[in-house]
Amino acid sequence: MEDGKVAPFIKDTSGVWLTQSDLRHYHLSEIAETDGSFAGWQLRIGTLTYIFDSKGRLVRVERLGELLISVVYDATGQPIKLIDRQSREATINYASYMQASSVDLPDGGRIDYMYDAEKRLTSAGSTGDSVGYRYVNSGNDNVLLTEKLDQTGTVIGRYVYDTQGRATTTENGIGGNHFAVAYAENGNQVTVTPPLGSSKEFYFDVFNNGRRLRRTVDACVGCQRSETSYSYGDDGYLSGSNNGALVKNFSRDQNGHVISASENSYDGSHLRTTQTEWHPDLSVPVTRQVYDATNTLIEQSTWAYNARGQALSSSRTDPVAGTTRTTATTYCEQTDIDAGTCPLLGLATSVDGARSDLSDLLRYTYYATDDSTCAATPFSCPHRKGDRWKVTNALGQITEYLAYDGAGRPLSVKDANGIVTDYSYHPRGWLTASKVRGADASSEADDRITRIDYWPTGLVRQVTHPDGAFTAFTYDAAHRLTDITDNAGNTVHYTLDNAGNRVKEDTKDAAGTLKRTLSRVYNQLGQLKTQATAASDPTDFAYDANGNATTVTAALATATQSEYDPLNRLSRTLQDVAGIKADTKFEYDALDNLTKVTDPKGLDTTYDYNGFGELVKLTSPDTGVTRYTYDSAGNRATQTDARGNTTAYSYDALNRLTKVTYPTTSLNVTYTYDVTQTACASGETFSIGRLTKMQDGGAITQYCYNRFGDLVRKVQTSNGTALVLRYDYTVGGQLRRMTYPDGAVVDYVRNAQGQTTQIGVTPAGGSRQVLLGNASYYPFGPAAGWTYGNGRTLARQYDLDYRPQAIQDTRPGGLDVGFGFDPAGNLTALTPAGNPAPEIGLGYDALGRLTALKDGRTGTLIDGYSVDATGNRLSAKVGTATQIYSYPTDSHRLSAVAGVARTYDATGNTTAIGGTARQYTYDTSGRMTQARRAGAVTMNYRYNGKGEQVRRFLGTTNTYTLYDEAGHWLGDYDSNGAPKQQAIWLDDLPVGLLANANKLHYIEPDHLGSPRVVIDPTRDVAVWTWSLKGEAFGNTAPNQDPDGDGAALVLDMRFPGQRFDAASGLNQNYFRDYEAATGRYGQSDPIGLSGGIATYSYTEGSPLSKSDPFGLMSFGKICNSAQQQNIINAVAQMANTIQSNSEASMSGCYDGNCDFKKAAAVMRVIASASFNCNYAQTNGLTVARPRYIFLSGQFSSNPTDPVISSPTHSQGVGCLMSALYHEAMHLALWNEIPDEDDVRRETKKCFDCAVSHTEQGQMPLW
């Protein structure tokens, strides 16, 4: 067999072929000719069938009745052709009998094989592009491989054997990744010593003349010893395992299939049992049921198949409600072939989704015949019989595959908007270019082209983006990534240990100057033991026997302990073990769904699920009880909050959200897709698959797109006032120009790396002014500074950890601040730039929550705070007064501050502070719609379907607000649509303001992106300041007239994402409202505990180190340099992994449910995708969206970017690759609805990590 096993078969007296008991899943039967004579054999293993002729030669391989490959032999018995189901052929040529000299590939390529005098294979590959092999040259062991050489002739593998021909060492070509193997004399014990010195012992016994594993032991110095034992039934199949915490037991049917799998903790308590019924003739499941510890059925799935074993239907049933969801698939049958409706037996022709309220049928159409050119030019004919031609979704939108290459890889694909994307490939099959075609079909000048170059070894050498920016990759002789270089010459260098772990990372600029560094230490098992900053401040990690991190000790010796249940699910965290002891507990159901979180205050948040694993009830101490229902496709259908308000959701046939219905109908939101709006001009009409209109209680918003899918026009109409925002892009899809509603134009000049170096502003009716220029950047990092248009310079200095060191404008009135940090990374000092003497000192508790703001010179306390273990503020000393914060015992709702009472509605929204002194009203969507003081209305508010506050009004006076697509505030406009103020951004930093008769002002932002100084460029003086050295949570008012000229500049921007609202006394913070006086939100977090255990807290109590621009969760930076590097690296490694497994053996990576075309499709997505790690807009999840792979997940059901999936908490670069691959799979097979479980099996096998919906928390980009 493929793994080297020999499966002996004996024919019994009844004519049945039998094999040994532990190979009963191998089924051998004879094949007869039509006249009854013997024709050969058929061997079925799982879903694969191998067919042999009467001479025992393999002639055909099928999966579930579909031809995978057929083999043709010549008269001498040599295999000479391999033919796939589309009749693409590979021809085998021979120099001597049964010694292949070359293989001619379907696309015209050739693989040549060379041999030595002893007929050992010495090279394989194309001319000048071959892999080499060397062997032992003595005795009977001369067939043992001793060295493997890559395409450059470099040794990449060395292998040593003992006198019995058993491998004793293996290592890469430079001596790393060294594994030593020692054998016991009887052969039943093997000890493997991995590269870092640990040991893994394998113990075997003998069964049916073979060895089977009975026990493994892992041990290393300073590690937890782990041991797993295995038991077997009399038939030789695995019957159980025990790792000291979890006991698994298996029972099987007569074919060796597992029919019952139970998992129990070591103390005997039962966890869950999975029972499976198998098809009597096919190795496919018919029914699968999962039972919990009480033997209650909690999950049930059923399948129906055709005679070939292809799934006709897949159903899941909620055992409690009795509801069933079924997806049905039809295939090309012989009657269809006879009728001419499809060409080949077994091709999928339609998939009918689970929706019962409408048709959600997906259809596939195939080319009925070979192209007419195939006979004459088989290497280049555009399609073969059975190649996919069209995919038609449930709305009739068609994706058309226009052409394939000789190997069956798509060359040209036309989407539903008529946009063609062409692909080109390396002779070895690797994707080299993805070309999204512009309007001029005769030229590439207006195309968006992403190119990928490769080293001879097949490793990705360079990725060049459409605008010419590129990232290059360098590897060592062992093919391990060591350097990343951009087109400016900036580099990231990785120092690797013997196992390939990165023990040091150095980021340097083009001159070779070190700009960022970090180091790591790994234990002998390859687990991260210590990670240290540039200053050698360590964070230490310890693990249990199963590899779970049990203790994390920060640089100031603050330790967090974690405990896990027998299924390795996090069950408890104890933060600051020696001090605060913040204790959080977690419980799960038998399906791994999180069912309860007990916070440090001892309050429970519970989660109830239906039989489909969907959350149906959330019980929170802060938001009360929320209930959910779902439609037949699993889309959320209703949500009923603790106030009794029910929100209903509707979806189209593609499961895109089309309507949100509230009890107050004026708040309803409708989403329109695919239909070009009247506001769209010529060239802005590529609407299919995109949101084109959103109508809600705050506005009507129309969206227009160019041929590349970029949003080029947004028209927001509120209360009859239209605001038009226009975008223009570079050839690479980067923002080049924005036109604001009043006609003001902001243009962005970029360098060769695509970074903004200059921003120009042309006010409406005015001439262009340079807002800033000479912007420079740290390598793979943040902006290093720029020069404003009047020559004023803002320098932004960062240390070797890319933490802010100083921000300085040396001119009078400019921002001037330095930063100091403690070893744990807490911001502890604010100083003059370049001067280490602190002006302000900041103190923290052991969990990094701000407790003190002091005079830096005297140490005198200015402001002080105390918090409980959960993170709720207990007291605040502001000046000379100390305020006490009071809470009820059953929630985290702040009930009073210094005796001033607060009230809440049932969902935890603050409704009043001090009785009628300040009152707030919320609509049925849960958003604040009115503020009152002393009973009088001070302001009314309206929101759009994205959650943005787009209108404020009192009486007939309106203010309309506009945001960009990243959620940045762009401007406020009066009742007539005239601008009051408009902001200008450099990425996530506000840098300019049009205000006071449309006059340009300069904004100087701090390290987080909060505005701190506004400069009048004409007079070169500060006209607005908000001191960074004021009250830390933002309770210090800005100085609106620092130049004392009597003309106040009012700017309401505060912390990132916030704008002060004098009418409410709060800072509007996108999805919530923030109260600077108490340092907390007025509403509980809309994303619940995913934003942190303290759902009212702002930035986890660290307002000068973190930000929360969307009112959902805190973070330090958006896509910082380390994250960018890790994404780039993961993409490169993922591409290499996919390629190596695609061209070598599909079983090396995939789980038997895909083909090479799918791997190629993933590579095409990776080549053209954009990457983002904006946690703030999302929930720290990973999702796929059209044209993008986001390392984040959408909080709201915003159909602008439909969410496909949300795997979360992971560890290591393998899991990052896994998450990227998972989402790329969704995008690659967008119309095919890939099965989530199939994708997870592949990612587990390919990257040793299977991302999961059920895991909680956010995915670190380490």
Q: Using one digit for the tens of pLDDT, what is the confidence trace for 92-114?
A: 999 999 999 999 999 999 999 99
> Which residue intervals of 165-209 are DSSP H helices?
none
The DSSP bridge pattern shows strands 1170-1172 and 1188-1190 to be parallel
**Cβ-contact 1122, 1216 below 8 angstroms:** no
**Cβ-contact 196, 526 below 8 angstroms:** yes
Range from 381-385, 426-430, 914-918, 946-950 carrying the lowest mean pLDDT: 426-430
The burial of 513, by beta-carbon neighbours within 10 Å (0-12 exposed, 13-18 middle, 19 or more buried), is given as exposed
CA trace torsion 1121, 759, 969, 1025 (10° rounding) = 90
**Cβ-contact 544, 224 below 8 angstroms:** yes
pLDDT by residue (tens digit) across 225-246?
999 999 999 888 999 999 989 9
**pLDDT of the residue at 341:** 96
The token duo for 1222 is 């998972």
Q: How confident is the model at residue 268 (pLDDT cuts 50, 70, 90)?
A: confident
**pLDDT of the residue at 65:** 81
Q: Average pLDDT, stretch 1243-1259?
A: 44
Res 1149 pLDDT > 70: no
pLDDT by residue (tens digit) across 198-210?
999 999 999 887 8
Distance (Å, whole) CA 1146 – CA 562: 38
Output Rg (C-alpha) for the chain, integer angstroms.
33
Distance (Å, whole) CA 130 – CA 704: 50
Res 1090 pLDDT > 90: no
* DSSP secondary structure, 446-473, as one string: TSEEEEEEE-TTS-EEEEE-TTS-EEEE
pLDDT by residue (tens digit) across 346-378?
999 999 999 999 999 999 999 999 999 999 999
**pLDDT of the residue at 1176:** 32
**pLDDT of the residue at 1114:** 82
Q: How confident is the model at residue 1218 (pLDDT cuts 50, 70, 90)?
A: low
Q: Average pLDDT, stretch 30-43?
A: 92
The token duo for 801 is 């950890």
**pLDDT of the residue at 20:** 78
Distance (Å, whole) CA 569 – CA 120: 50
> Which residue intervals of 129-205 are DSSP H helices?
none
Q: Average pLDDT, stretch 1071-1091?
A: 95
Q: In this structure, what DSSP letter does residue 1187 have?
A: T
**Cβ-contact 134, 144 below 8 angstroms:** no
Sheet with 1170-1172, strands from edge to edge, namely: 1170-1172, 1188-1190, 1183-1185
H or E element that contains 1139: helix 1121-1143
Amino acid at 632: S
**Cβ-contact 483, 491 below 8 angstroms:** yes
Distance (Å, whole) CA 404 – CA 427: 14
**pLDDT of the residue at 1220:** 65
**pLDDT of the residue at 1153:** 38
pLDDT by residue (tens digit) across 473-530?
999 999 998 999 999 999 999 999 999 889 999 999 999 999 999 999 999 998 889 9
**pLDDT of the residue at 567:** 87
Distance (Å, whole) CA 1220 – CA 1167: 12
The helices-and-strands tally (H runs, E runs) of the chain is: 5, 96
Measured N-to-C along each axis, helices 1212-1228 and 1156-1168 cross at an angle, to the nearest 10 degrees, of: 100
Amino acid at 611: G
CA trace torsion 891, 896, 899, 903 (10° rounding) = -110
Residue 287: partners with Cβ closer than 8 Å, 6 or more residues away? 276, 277, 300, 301, 302, 303
DSSP E strands in 208-333: the ranges are: 210-219, 226-232, 238-242, 246-252, 258-265, 270-278, 285-292, 297-305, 311-317, 324-331
**pLDDT of the residue at 1136:** 57
The token duo for 502 is 């990165």
pLDDT by residue (tens digit) across 606-641?
999 999 999 999 999 999 999 999 999 999 999 999
**pLDDT of the residue at 1154:** 40
**Cβ-contact 90, 103 below 8 angstroms:** yes
Neighbours of 574 (CB within 10 A): 18
* DSSP secondary structure, 699-719, as one string: -EEEEEE-TTS-EEEEEEEET
* DSSP secondary structure, 284-314, as one string: SEEEEEEEETT--EEEEEEEEE-TTS-EEEE
**pLDDT of the residue at 1238:** 52
Give the torsion sign (CA, 1252, 1256, 1260, 1261). positive
- Residue pointed to by tokens 């006879």: 338
Distance (Å, whole) CA 1156 – CA 1144: 11
| Mean per-residue pLDDT over the chain, rounded | 88
pLDDT by residue (tens digit) across 761-782?
999 999 999 999 999 999 999 9
Q: Average pLDDT, stretch 947-951?
A: 96
**Cβ-contact 720, 696 below 8 angstroms:** no
Distance (Å, whole) CA 291 – CA 551: 33
pTM of the model: 0.90
Q: How confident is the model at residue 1260 (pLDDT cuts 50, 70, 90)?
A: very low
Distance (Å, whole) CA 582 – CA 396: 55
Q: How confident is the model at residue 1243 (pLDDT cuts 50, 70, 90)?
A: low
**Cβ-contact 714, 702 below 8 angstroms:** yes
**pLDDT of the residue at 286:** 96
SS3 1242: helix
SS3 1168: helix
Sheet with 1080-1081, strands from edge to edge, namely: 1059-1061, 1066-1069, 1072-1075, 1080-1081
Q: In this structure, what DSSP letter does residue 685 have?
A: B
Amino acid at 470: F
The token duo for 764 is 């409406």
Res 655 pLDDT > 80: yes
The token duo for 699 is 């506005």
**pLDDT of the residue at 1259:** 28
**pLDDT of the residue at 1147:** 38
The DSSP bridge pattern shows strands 816-821 and 827-831 to be antiparallel
Tell me the residue length of the chain.
Answer: 1262
Distance (Å, whole) CA 456 – CA 69: 29
**pLDDT of the residue at 1119:** 39
CA end-to-end span of the chain: 41
**Cβ-contact 771, 784 below 8 angstroms:** no
Residue 4: partners with Cβ closer than 8 Å, 6 or more residues away? none
Region of 1137 on the Ramachandran plot (φ > 0 left; ψ -120 to 50 alpha; else beta):
alpha
The DSSP bridge pattern shows strands 246-252 and 258-265 to be antiparallel
Q: Average pLDDT, stretch 250-272?
A: 89
Amino acid at 21: S
Neighbours of 1045 (CB within 10 A): 11
**pLDDT of the residue at 446:** 94
**pLDDT of the residue at 1188:** 34
Q: In this structure, what DSSP letter does residue 665 have?
A: G
**pLDDT of the residue at 402:** 98
Q: How far, CA to CA in Å, does 29 sit from each of 67, 1088, 1253? A: 19, 58, 42
Q: In this structure, what DSSP letter does residue 1167 have?
A: H
SS3 692: strand
Distance (Å, whole) CA 467 – CA 729: 11
The token duo for 236 is 């030789």
Q: How confident is the model at residue 1159 (pLDDT cuts 50, 70, 90)?
A: low
Q: In this structure, what DSSP letter does residue 49 have?
A: E
Q: How confident is the model at residue 141 (pLDDT cuts 50, 70, 90)?
A: low
Q: Average pLDDT, stretch 1072-1086?
A: 97
% of the chain beyond a pLDDT of 70: 88
Q: How confident is the model at residue 469 (pLDDT cuts 50, 70, 90)?
A: very high
Range from 412-421, 839-848, 1214-1223 carrying the lowest mean pLDDT: 1214-1223
Distance (Å, whole) CA 398 – CA 1185: 19
The token duo for 1012 is 């701190």
